[in-house]
């Protein structure tokens, strides 16, 4: 089991914030408020705006990979899995994903990461760093059933009370999800935007990874990701990475850490038991 010391001092820095000030005034159906940041007409996880200001100007290296997706669609899972693919072995990153999270991490954190970097963002295509589009940087886009995404996001906000200051009921919260009054706005508009970008930029390498496909056949997804980033893996390497990338194994990495709350059930169809 990993400890915060084993994850290193940089990993601990990635948990810092610039203040969870609510700037959106969002309230659920029962009148309970949720801390969210309103920035450039969009809603974000509550944090300061200075890092959001810097995203467009982030300098991109030739071998960088961008990992994007709506919140709670599997970015943590894919980030760790892709990192193991790049190393060619089933070994977790010594850092937490937030160290490479462009909207929240201080630039000196991801600037000091060794190449190849997997830079995470929840932005849509138009909001990505300018150099990503100029250099046609490879993008991995995660997707998930919106019903499971909603349940996961609700529990995420409940479990991170110190961030969102929210403890409402799901039935009061769910209309906010449908109206796009949650982190990253409307789930549906988000993926419509990405679909448009994929159609308008056919020369930009973008791989769509479905959460449900990872759960159903993780090894096939590992091979697909490896092909996309031009990494050749033996069957033994795929088996080793798949064993470590199983959701139950991933949960053990975060057990006892402040990031443990970010990893919940990892189930498909959890929405059927919520309400």
List active site positions.
122
Give the angle 49-140-143 at the CA atoms, nearest 5°: 85
Largest CA distance in the chain: 55
How far apart CA 181 and CA 274 sit, in angstroms, is: 20
How far apart CA 36 and CA 190 sit, in angstroms, is: 17
Secondary structure (H, E, C), 115-154: CCCEEEECCCHHHCCHHHHHHCCEEEEEECCHHHHHHHHH
CB 131 within 8 A of CB 56: no
Q: Which residues of 216-244 are buried (b: 16+ CB within 10 A; e: fewer)?
A: eebeebbbbbbebbebebeeebbebbbeb
Among candidates 5, 22, 61, which has minimal Cα distance to 166? 22
Among candidates 46, 53, 7, 17, which has minimal Cα distance to 183? 46
Q: In this structure, what token pair is assigned to residue 43? A: 């809603």
26 backbone dihedrals φ, ψ, rounded to 5°: -80, 135
């Amino acid at each position: 089991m990993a400890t915060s010391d084993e994850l290193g001092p940089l990993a601990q820095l990635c948990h810092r914030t610039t203040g969870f000030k609510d700037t959106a005034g969002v309230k659920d159906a029962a009148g309970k408020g949720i801390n969210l940041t309103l920035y450039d007409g969009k809603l974000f996880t509550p944090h300061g705006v200075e890092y959001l200001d810097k995203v467009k100007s982030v300098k991109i290296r030739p071998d960088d990979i961008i990992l994007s997706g709506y919140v709670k669609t599997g970015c943590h899972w894919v980030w760790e899995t892709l990192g193991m693919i790049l190393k060619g072995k089933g070994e977790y990153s010594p850092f937490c994903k937030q160290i490479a999270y462009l909207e929240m991490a201080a630039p000196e954190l991801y600037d000091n990461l060794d190449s190849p970097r997997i830079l995470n963002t929840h932005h849509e295509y138009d909001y990505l760093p300018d150099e990503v589009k100029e250099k046609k940087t490879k993008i991995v886009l995660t997707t998930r059933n919106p019903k499971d995404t909603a349940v996961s996001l609700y529990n995420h906000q409940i479990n991170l009370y110190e961030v969102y200051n929210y403890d409402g009921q799901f039935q009061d919260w769910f209309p906010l999800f449908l109206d796009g009054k949650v982190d990253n706005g409307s789930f549906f508009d988000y993926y419509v935007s990405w679909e448009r970008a994929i159609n308008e930029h056919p020369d930009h390498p973008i791989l769509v990874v479905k959460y449900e496909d990872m759960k159903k056949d993780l090894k096939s997804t590992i091979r697909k990701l490896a092909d996309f980033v031009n990494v050749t893996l033996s069957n033994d390497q795929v088996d080793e990475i798949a064993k470590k990338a199983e959701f139950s194994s991933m949960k053990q990495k975060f057990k006892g850490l402040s990031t443990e709350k970010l990893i919940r059930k990892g189930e498909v169809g959890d929405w059927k038991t919520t309400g």
